A and B are shown apart, each in its own frame.
Chain A
């Protein structure tokens, strides 16, 4: 009893719901808790309303928050950064560990070409300067899941520097207003992931899984150009889409393929920056936004109460909805960086610097990789708007949901229906059903082909829009019937018999004299009510335009 009260009473359980509700009209409010959507990990943050982090009190300076991010993206590669061990999520513990990954004495790192290519492609996509020569360093600290006692990273001379990421804040309240913002990218560096520690507090033991140890990471360091949780979340979402489009990272936050640390400080504009804190290991976009906003508010409150902000590392407690100091990182660590002596400098070439006798297996040509870059999300959105005449906001939604764009394009390919109609159906009906059941696009019971067939029926006026929704509902049950089968079984075809429809109209007019009176009084809503009544009587099988035509004709006869 007490326990259940306690559980209900945990603060912070509700914020996620509110956040989701405010964020997307497609989401129902029935999701059980903040973790329910983590499996998807891809919420539509681009549609969130813009919220200002704080309001200045009267007579006081306004506070400004400064937020910078360090993002770790696991590189999508067959093997690890410096060893031949396979990379695979959720494999049995310690089943993907080479001698090097376990740091057996005498083993040496061998750089994985695929990881370098992924870093170069990511750097190019983020408008970075690609360094023709970059270096590897050792960063030392003792931790049980870091078997070498150091991590190989690129501290001094990373592979890519000075880029920028453009992201869009979509302001829902002011219809369709998109603000484009830019965050500078300081650098992208290649580094090793650590293993995982599983702490068994009960038996006071720690279990180590080295499957992840040595997996290639791209650390993307953003300059502190962000000012609130939402901006951070939207920027990270855009980065996530770019990485996925490039195929350089699966960037699934729930599986830890994308992890974000945030550096946060507040100050009065025009004055020096405040002391910053670092919030570590934020593994969902919602927690990221929430943690940043909480931390900004906490720092402001702290300073306004005459306190001070400590330069410390904090973690986000998603249950409590607040940040707390991390206990094991009290003192400032000195990582004692040193050049990695077992790896020569990483040299990259371009079309002009490539030696003529170079072995293509041994060199990486930046220009060649540039030519191979796929279409990036911003270009895809632009293309969608131009090609299909959709609103920019729709293009955002299509990209934000994993697999939705592909679904949309497959429907387009197979149907005669207008793109606008397809957009409408995919974004409203289809997405609504997915969200209702919390499914990913790939889990949908309705295939693009099935939807395309339904839209064809609609397009040929064989079925009304309302009846089509009924067919869709049947399709969703996934019983293997086609749209046409459902339509004929349930007699949902559009009434082609004008005489029968005229009879239905007449019966409706006769049965609703008051509404007819309203029509005659030029009440504009009344005619719609009548149309609705006729449609209902036709079991949604009548074409509303035709009903309207008949009704108007009949009523004008009076």
Chain B
């Protein structure tokens, strides 16, 4: 039951094959079993059970709220949840219990979803590995999969080679990948949903900026942040997006015009599509496996009659440095509120208000956050503002224009890799500092945030090491539905395998009804 997709389990709930409480308890037990993954910061067991009870009552009375009623979900711990601690994986917010729900959380709850808990991340979502939070790193469930263990040649039982989940929404990705919930919310500022989705073999969706409310999402970069969605298949993403999307009076950057979102048709015709392959994304650092899968994917579209053309996004190469300036500047500004006065951590040093501020922020933030605050304040100084911030904004505009030009030329969807490589072992990952890693890891994902476009990472195949590889589709702004339609067609072609978590399956708690282990059409 737990291995099913959201839509499948929703159907099972409706048919009474399983009750919300049973489902909830199974997920809770799995959360306990997979505690070593460190996917959750807070498990909201009581809340979830109570919600399950209410959901069960609704089902009994034939008053189900819809597809999400009774469905266990998880939420990244940078979304405000009323009455449930929200930490951003930072000392600064340890013990902070918000009095309100983020709009997206409220929308899920209004649909009857069960909130299993708050998931782990890099502190304040600053990172690409989910390794830099105060609660420790998230472990990629695929580290323990049968597929990966078979793919690895040595150290069969050596746990020290566990892999990172990707980030910064690694906890949400691990939670869905390990079957502890059916969908999870992440956030995506430079790739923070798509990157861990690729590493954990999930669909990771970043909606168009302005389509989904940010109210209650504790910001990293306001002008780029969007709530992201993790599910096991594209249809599930479409269901969740349908619920989350829409104007929110509490977020002035959400669009007023209603965006039509519906279920994706089961039969999709891609023969009239034009797929763009951005040549700048073919970088030397790209792993040969991913490169080969990327090209096979484009062949797949060609074989179906779609037009596949090479396109150019000439300013992509400036994206990382431009992002660095804009991101750190907004971070410097957004983090100013954490001064220890109203909420969160407050240092015991009280010789003066200024000394208290300084000590609070020194104790509350990790090096990554402090480093970004420092750089951001440097860029915002009067003497630097024109040279850095304004220039970066101009470059951002050029990056956006690149995309607009490509889409104006008739391209419907861009196809790119999501990451340079498959997930790497933690020990290897931490050899580089956060900034270097973020710069490398966000290379394919970040420009999309600059331009506010929708993008989705779809799992394609397993690497030689038995690890998931994802490819990314980028769509026109507010053409999220079209993007997911293409993603669904692609998903159907590649038949990505279900993760084989041996130790979970052994005790029978995990029945994989739709496990298709070998039918991968794209192979190495």
Which of A's residues lie within 8 Å of B, judged by CB? 99, 102-111, 138, 140, 142, 144, 147-150, 206, 208, 334, 336-338, 341-344, 362
Contacts and interface: CB of A to CB of B under 8 A. Distances in A.
B218 A106 contact: yes
Interface stretch (B134-142, B275-283, B288-296, B326-334): B326-334
A341 B222 contact: yes
Contacts of A342: 222, 251-253
B339 A105 contact: no
Given A104-B99, A106-B102, A106-B215, A341 B330 contact: yes
B337 A362 contact: no
Contacts of A104: 80, 98-100, 342-343
A207 to B, nearest CB: 11
Given A99-B100, A107-B215, A334-B382, 14 more contacts: A99-B99, A104-B80, A104-B100, A105-B93, A108-B252, A140-B380, A142-B354, A142-B357, A147-B342, A149-B336, A336-B381, A338-B330, A338-B333, A341-B223
Interface of B: 79-80, 86, 88, 93, 96, 98-100, 102, 214-219, 221-223, 249-253, 256, 329-330, 332-333, 335-339, 341-343, 353-354, 357, 377, 380-382, 385, 389
A206 B218 CA distance: 28
A140 B336 contact: yes
B297 to A, nearest CB: 35
A208 B98 contact: no
9 contacts: A104-B98, A104-B100, A108-B214, A149-B339, A334-B381, A338-B330, A338-B380, A342-B252, A344-B252
A206 B353 contact: yes
- Max count, chain B CB within 10 A of own CB: residue among A206, A337, A341, A343: A341
Given A103-B337, A104-B98, A148-B337, A111 B252 contact: yes
Contact of A102 (B342, B382, B385): B342
B332 A105 contact: no
Contacts of A150: 333, 336
Contact of A108 (B251, B353, B381): B251
B336 A142 contact: yes
Contact of A110 (B86, B88, B249, B335): B249
Contacts of A103: 337, 342
Contact of A140 (B221, B223, B333): B333
Contacts of B343: 102, 104-105
A338 B389 contact: yes
* Closest 3 A/B residue pairs (Cβ): A149-B336, A336-B380, A341-B222
A210 to B, nearest CB: 9
A167 to B, nearest CB: 34
B282 to A, nearest CB: 32
Contact of A106 (B219, B221, B357, B377): B219
Nearest to B255: A344
A337 B329 CA distance: 10
A106 B93 CA distance: 13
Nearest to B353: A144
Contacts of B98: 104-106
A494 B377 CA distance: 82
Contact of B380 (A144, A148, A337, A343): A337
Contacts of B256: 362
B94 to A, nearest CB: 13
Contacts of A110: 249-250, 252
Contact of A336 (B222, B341, B377): B377
A109 B252 contact: yes
A111 B217 CA distance: 19
Contacts of B219: 105-106
Contacts of A140: 332-333, 336, 380
Contacts of B342: 102-104, 147
Contacts of A341: 221-223, 253, 330
Nearest to B92: A105
A226 B343 CA distance: 46
Contacts of B216: 106-107
B333 A147 contact: no
Contacts of A109: 252
A191 to B, nearest CB: 16
A106 B332 CA distance: 15
A550 to B, nearest CB: 82
A370 to B, nearest CB: 26
Contacts of A343: 252-253
Contacts of B339: 142, 147, 149
Nearest to A111: B252
A144 B357 CA distance: 10
Nearest to A206: B353
Contact of A138 (B79, B251, B333, B335): B333
A208 B340 CA distance: 13
Contacts of B253: 108, 341-344
A103 B341 CA distance: 11
B171 to A, nearest CB: 18
A343 B223 CA distance: 10
A105 B218 CA distance: 5
Nearest to A342: B222
A62 B201 CA distance: 81
Contacts of A144: 341, 353
B330 A105 contact: no
Nearest to B101: A106
A87 B178 CA distance: 50
B215 A149 contact: no
B380 to A, nearest CB: 4
A140 to B, nearest CB: 6
Given A147-B342, A341-B222, A342-B222, A105 B381 contact: no
Nearest to A99: B100
A105 B249 contact: no
Contacts of B329: 338
Contacts of B215: 106-108
A211 to B, nearest CB: 14
Contacts of B382: 334, 336-337
Contacts of B214: 106, 108
Contacts of A362: 256
A147 B252 contact: no
Nearest to B79: A106
B80 A105 contact: yes
Contacts of A334: 381-382
A152 to B, nearest CB: 11
A338 B96 CA distance: 28
A285 B100 CA distance: 44
Contacts of B99: 99, 104
A333 to B, nearest CB: 10
A314 to B, nearest CB: 22
B319 to A, nearest CB: 18
Contacts of B96: 105
B77 to A, nearest CB: 12
A463 to B, nearest CB: 64
Interface centre among A106, A147, A149, A362 (most CB of B within 10 A): A106
A4 B223 CA distance: 62
A374 B88 CA distance: 51
Most buried by A among B96, B223, B252, B256: B252
A337 B93 CA distance: 26
B160 to A, nearest CB: 36
